[in-house]
Copies of this chain bind each other. A is one copy, B any other.
Amino acid sequence: MRKLYHWPLDPASRLVRLVLAEKQLEFELVVSPPWKPVDEVTRLYSNPVGPILVDQGKHGRIVANHTHAIIEFLEETYPDVRVLPALAGDRAEARRLWRWVENRFESEINGSILAERIAQAVQRASAPDSALLRRGAHALRGVLTYLNALCEEHSYLTGRVLSVADLAAAANLSALDYFGDVPWDNVPDLREWYSRVKSRPCFRGLLKDRLSGAKPASHYDDLDF
């Protein structure tokens, strides 16, 4: 059996769900909120951050934490469907962009926009910190512009084939898109790319997520948004 301890709107958890689904690996989802992890999680790590995979497979019981460790493990262990390109140079570029996307969202965007929206929805915080939202929105525009430029050149971010870099960007954008916080109109090529990625079977689980306390934006699960 394979278990993923996750939180539905955590972008890192979403990325791992996309990779597992893309690889057509079955898994059980166990919700573990970052602010109140379930007991199994605190028994595994003293200070858990992000998704944790427990894989009972051909290597025995493997416990992995962090997208880097989890996805490289899945890629090594279940190579039938790959999320990293075959050629060394393309692999390096996919990994660079994967890391770039996660770092930018984590350090400049998720802590402001996403955290504020979640505080509102889940913790019933009072009005969001508008200065923080503005800073996040500014950083997001920079990231979107860069990603849009990549989509002007190719169907996917690192070339003609989908890679983990696309899934990382889509996972992060999908969490913001739940709250209607992605200004798609300014980035038409990226919008088309997102519609393409979102239409893949691996995305179905994410589009069904619902936070009690906050309905998603009306286009959230619309494939032709």
Contacts and interface: CB of A to CB of B under 8 A. Distances in A.
Interface in A76-125: 76-77, 87-89, 91-93, 95-96, 98-100, 107
A91 B65 CA distance: 11
A181 to B, nearest CB: 22
Interface stretch (A28-36, A55-63, A195-203): A55-63
Contacts of A65: 92, 96
A70 interface: yes
A59 B87 contact: yes
Contacts of A66: 95-96, 99-100
B92 A64 contact: yes
Given A65-B96, A96-B64, A88 B72 contact: no
Contact of A88 (B76, B91, B95, B96): B76
A92 B73 contact: yes
B88 A62 contact: yes
21 contacts: A59-B87, A59-B88, A61-B89, A62-B89, A63-B89, A63-B92, A63-B93, A64-B96, A66-B95, A66-B96, A66-B99, A66-B100, A68-B68, A68-B96, A69-B91, A69-B93, A69-B95, A73-B95, A76-B88, A76-B91, A107-B107
Given A64-B96, A66-B96, A99-B66, A88 B107 contact: no
A102 to B, nearest CB: 10
Nearest to A95: B69
Contacts of A93: 63, 69
Contacts of A69: 91-93, 95-96, 99
